[in-house]
Amino acid sequence: MSLSLNQRTTKRWSVAEAVEGCVRHGLEAVGLWREEVAEQGLAESVKLVRDAGLRVSSLCRGGFLTTPADPAPGTSGRASGGTARRAALDDNRRAIDEAAELGAACLVMVVGGLPGVRPGEPLPGEPLPVVRPGEPLPADPDGAGRPFSRDLAGAREQVAEALEVLAPYAGERGVKLALEPLHPMYCADRAVLSTLAQAVDLCLPYPEEQVGVVVDTFHVWWDPRLFEEIARAGRRIASYQVCDYLQPLPADVLLGRGMMGDGVIDFPPITRAVAAAGYTGDVEVEIFNADVWAADPDEIVATMKHRYARVVSV
Amino acid sequence: MSLSLNQRTTKRWSVAEAVEGCVRHGLEAVGLWREEVAEQGLAESVKLVRDAGLRVSSLCRGGFLTTPADPAPGTSGRASGGTARRAALDDNRRAIDEAAELGAACLVMVVGGLPGVRPGEPLPGEPLPVVRPGEPLPADPDGAGRPFSRDLAGAREQVAEALEVLAPYAGERGVKLALEPLHPMYCADRAVLSTLAQAVDLCLPYPEEQVGVVVDTFHVWWDPRLFEEIARAGRRIASYQVCDYLQPLPADVLLGRGMMGDGVIDFPPITRAVAAAGYTGDVEVEIFNADVWAADPDEIVATMKHRYARVVSV
């Protein structure tokens, strides 16, 4: 296993700058994001990584496969039903094509939350009223008309169904989809895939080269079944991502990812388990953190290398 | 099943005020907290609930059983090792005694996080240094000397060991310990018990009347194994607590508990599963939420009753 820089860790860097940074710091691989690749241009991004001799350890990200049903009349005009579903699948086919062009080891899939719930945003629609003692009861809705769904099992079913369409497409293009279970605190708005066990179950019906899983320490460190599930995943592990879990979490929980050693995770047993399962790919450091993003990116990469050697690798 | 007010939902109310509030709103049960019971006085609290004819659906809370090892020389003087462990067990014996006096249906156990990590506080000790490119490497600690532990498996073992001591003590006093799995976002600082499956496994070695589990919708709604584990828990379910999971979470994630209907949880399937498992006790509404705490407590109780009927019960 060797160290890779996920470019979101050095958020200020473009693809060109991240590639240069990797070379300057002696890293052999980089994890790219679609947004930054689009800004740089796909063809130029491909040329940059090839000329630098870097591996692309992952492309982030596909997913957001959970879409609302057709809206009730008079509700918001957000894409929904068949339209939203087709748009999500089309976007994922484009992501697969991009991953193929880049020769990425996998396309990371963040599967999406409850249909109609947007990442980090308040729930859409009118909240239920309060009841004031001594006054007549308010109108008595049960929230059924709000333009989002609380059907978690149904959302999980949608993910499985989308995979039936996308896995063969990925297979034709030589791309491996990497299903990422996210920490349960993101279940409502980012990923209804909440445990490694769920991710492993989802990928088993497909060929190993088409669908695998991501083990991201931030998302799975708490799981009582972690080590059994890493072993069960075996060669299905398509990506090993590391960052620490900060205590306390910051106000925006998305940014609770810390430099390894700054939080509560005991990395070596997890790294050993991932290695024992047969993973021989790159280890990506992916940190969403306001302080890290404010710092000098070269300092971040130097610190990351040092911490990887001291705290993560075994 | 019938509705109970956990007194933390109406945080401004003393035990006396909460008891009066329950009577005024026609509730038959109340969940009490040790701190408020101590302020009111244990004997007076017992008299208040008996005179009002209320059931005490739970006493919150025992737990915090995970204690640091003896500190390294020169580090903080926090209680640790044998001393901290004995203090935690003694405090839990007192909590059991109080639950017995109150005739509480159970003592809710929040088992504690990683040893040395305090709820909501930054990690103690000196953080690891950053590395500045071109400068000499900083001293090379791996954080081993920080006065907290990252040994999650060890912390979970401590909980199992403490239970061996406390369960028989609870049994002698006719008190049922109710192990509460907390949402994984509290794993580091509040409870290393993160799933219902873990809680059920922990209680099975003990008689049903000594150790059970809490099903709290906020903590378990995301769990892909929720319905299987509720069925497996069966009559081990000692408490069913409801509140919603807010989206997005507030800055202090402890306060992300919302009034039923204000968040993302689909309650009826969970309520049906708990009933099908054989639970016939009270349903406590326990909401930690700055807006709820700022509102008129009578409005909160009236709203809670209305929402319970519309959104939770089936």
**Which domains, from first to last, does chain B contain?**
2-123+146-312 (3.20.20.150)
- Three-state SS for A260? coil
Helix (H, G, I), strand (E, B) or coil at A232: helix
Q: Which residues of B touch A131 (CB under 8 A)?
A: 299, 302-303, 305-306
Q: Which pair of structure tokens corresponds to residue B222?
A: 């995301």
Q: Could you tell me if A142 lies within 8 Å of chain B, comparing CB atoms? A: yes
| Contact at CB, B143 and A311, closer than 8 angstroms | yes
Residue A240 Cα to chain centre, angstroms: 12
| Nearest C-alpha in B relative to A181 | B224
- What's the pLDDT at B143? 76
Per-residue pLDDT band for A139 (boundaries 50, 70, 90) equals: confident
Q: Which tokens is B134 given?
A: 């071109």
A248 touches chain B (CB under 8 A): yes
Within 171-210 of B, beta carbons closer than 8 Å to A belong to 183-185, 187-189, 194-195, 197-198
pLDDT band for A80, please (50, 70, 90 cuts). Answer: low
**Partner-chain contact A247 B197, CB within 8 Å:** no
Contact B287, B5 (CB under 8 A): no
Mean pLDDT of A157-165: 97
pTM for this model (two decimals): 0.96
* Residue A77 clears pLDDT 50, i.e. is over it: no
- Identify whether B297 is preceded by a cis peptide bond (ω within 30 of 0): no
Residue A135 touches partner B, C-beta closer than 8 Å: no
Q: Do B120 and A248 touch (CB under 8 A)?
A: yes
Please enumerate in sequence order all residues whose Cβ is within 8 A of that of A308, keeping only pairs 6 or more positions apart, or say none: A3, A242, A260, A283, A285
A31-44 pLDDT, tens digit each = 999 999 999 999 99
Q: How confident is the model at residue A69 (pLDDT cuts 50, 70, 90)?
A: confident
User: How many Å lie between the alpha carbon of B296 and the closest alpha carbon of chain A?
Assistant: 9
C-alpha–C-alpha distance, residues A82 and A89, integer Å:
11
Task: List % helix, strand, coil for chain A (3-state, nearest 5).
Answer: 45, 15, 40
Compute the distance between CA of residue B179 and CA of residue A104 in angstroms, rounded to an integer.
45
Average pLDDT of the residues in A2-24: 98
**Contacts of B29 by beta carbon, 8 Å cutoff, 6+ apart:** B2, B3, B4, B5, B22, B54, B55, B56, B57, B282, B284
Q: For the segment A172-198, what is each residue's pLDDT rounded down to a tens digit? A: 999 999 999 999 999 999 999 999 999
Which of A28, A26, A30, A40 lies closest to A10, judged by CA? A30
Place of tokens 């709203």: B303
Mutate to test the interface with B, among A66, A246, A260, A264 (most CBs of B within 10 A): A264
B264 contact residues in A (CB cutoff 8 A)? 114, 117, 123, 148, 150, 188
| Chain A residue numbers touching B128 (CB-CB < 8 A) | 259, 261-262, 307, 310-311
State residue A205's pLDDT score: 97
**B262 has a chain A CB within 8 A of its CB:** yes
Cβ of residue B135 closer than 8 Å to a chain A Cβ:
no
Contact B310 A249 (CB under 8 A): no
Comparing C-alpha atoms, which of B16, B90, B104 is closest to residue B58? B104
pLDDT of residue A70: 65
On the question of a cis peptide bond just before residue A61, with omega within 30 degrees of 0, the verdict is: yes
Chain A to chain B, count of Cβ pairs less than 8 Å apart?
152
| A95–chain B nearest CA distance, Å | 28
Across the interface, which of A133, A248, A306 has its CB nearest the CB of B121? A248
Least CA distance to A198: which residue of chain B? B224
Q: Please give chain B's pLDDT, 314 residues, in tens.
A: 899 999 999 999 999 999 999 999 999 999 999 999 999 999 999 999 999 999 999 999 999 999 987 655 555 545 566 899 999 999 999 999 999 999 999 999 999 999 999 999 999 999 999 999 988 888 777 777 789 999 999 999 999 999 999 999 999 999 999 999 999 999 999 999 999 999 999 999 999 999 999 999 999 999 999 999 999 999 999 999 999 999 999 999 999 999 999 999 999 999 999 999 999 999 999 999 999 999 999 999 999 999 999 999 97
